[in-house]
Amino acid sequence: MNKPKVLVTRQWPASVEAKLSNLYDVTLNESDRPLTAEELKIALQQYDAVCPNVCDALPAQVLNVENKRCKILGNFGVGYNHIDVAAAKQQGLIVTNTPGVLTQSTADIAMTLLLMSARRGAEGDRLVRSKKWTGWCPTQLMSSDVTGATLGLIGFGRIAQAMARKAHHGFGMKILYVKPSPAEQAIVDELQAVRCDSIAELLAQSDYVSLHCPGGAETKHLMNAQNLALMKPTAHLINTARGDVVDSLALIEALKAGTIRGAGLDVYENEPNLHPGFLELDNVSLLPHLGSATIATRTAMGEKVLANLAAFFAGEELPDRVV
């Protein structure tokens, strides 16, 4: 009996690729080169399953390709705004994701960026590497306190709650959050978290604002010039959610003008082609989308995809079905 044909669009942890190779007629991306829209169309025509990631844009124009063989997109990642799920549903194409396993690693990166931005870590690193550091100075790279400061979370799902635990229990931070409905009382009690009635209320009170909302049309440019202006001039913005939640140009102007003190970014609009204005600023810390980039987490994400594929080809209920 022929094995199902599966395409993996980028390199995955070796242990997961080995399992895929054993179970399926799999094509791996040994060059780790992003696929073009035309290559993705061909993949949908030639494979039973395609396993994309956040860098693979799958709009309706790609998904609606004729003579499609593919029946499932086993997405490597929890976010799926790069996939037109409405078009996928219309085409009868199943989409799965990998929730739960990347919560702690992504929250760790959010805290890393908060600390880097607050304590001017990237600037300090550049100073030492430039060989211009002349030694300790009482006024050198003075920065913002983290302990006891107020952290505002826009979105309060698993990753935001994990960050809140690290911030509150580790640094004594006060936790504010905004979401459509109140969080579970046990979580509120544990974190002494206060729900704000609006984003504007949260922005005005927070020393650090961390974004944890999904990407897509509803949240595109949520952090625009108007909302950035509501933040304290001493505040920092952290984004580990999706790049398009922030208006890049507006943030660059806010950082230049001193509307806010700093920012820490792991995701960008049109990544990896981030706005060149960011590279001219000292008060922004930039990471290359490292949120889930630990060996254990990326392996667990791959295992999640394997579980979804196994369920699909066995005709069983899929554990992480999106549509």
- The CATH number given to whatever domain includes residue 207 is 3.40.50.720
Instruction: Kindly give the pairing relationship between strand 150-154 and strand 208-211.
Output: parallel
Query: What is the extent of the structural domain holding 82?
Result: 5-101+295-313
Q: Tell me the pLDDT tens digit for each residue of 57-72.
A: 999 999 999 999 999 9
Is 323 part of any domain?
no
Domain shared by 200 and 274, yes or no: yes
Indicate whether 1 pLDDT > 90: no
Domain shared by 209 and 189, yes or no: yes
Q: Tell me the pLDDT tens digit for each residue of 76-93.
A: 999 999 999 999 999 999
Domain shared by 69 and 41, yes or no: yes
Domain shared by 138 and 36, yes or no: no
- Helix (H) and strand (E) counts in the chain: 12, 12
pLDDT in the model for residue 259: 98
Domain shared by 184 and 107, yes or no: yes
Question: CA 155, CA 214: separation in Å to the nearest integer?
Answer: 8
Is 163 part of any domain?
yes
**281 exposed, middle or buried (CB, 10 Å; 0-12, 13-18, 19+)?**
middle
Domain shared by 107 and 96, yes or no: no
Is 121 part of any domain?
yes
In DSSP notation, 250-284 reads HHHHHHHHTSSSEEEES--TTTTS--GGGGG-SSE
Question: CA 192, CA 190: separation in Å to the nearest integer?
Answer: 6
What mean pLDDT do residues 105-130 have?
Answer: 98
Beta-bridge mates of residue 174: 150
Q: Tell me the pLDDT tens digit for each residue of 157-193.
A: 999 999 999 999 999 999 999 999 999 999 999 999 9
Indicate whether 298 pLDDT > 90: yes
Domain shared by 177 and 60, yes or no: no
What mean pLDDT do residues 271-286 have?
Answer: 97
In the predicted model, what is the mean pLDDT of the chain? 97
User: For the chain, what percent of residues have pLDDT higher than 90?
Assistant: 99
Active-site annotation, residues: 242, 271, 289
Domain shared by 124 and 144, yes or no: yes
pLDDT in the model for residue 181: 95
Is 13 part of any domain?
yes
Domain shared by 74 and 124, yes or no: no
Local confidence band at 108 (pLDDT 50, 70, 90 cut-offs):
very high
Q: Tell me the pLDDT tens digit for each residue of 241-273.
A: 999 999 999 999 999 999 999 999 999 999 999
Is 188 part of any domain?
yes
What mean pLDDT do residues 89-114 have?
Answer: 98
Domain shared by 73 and 149, yes or no: no
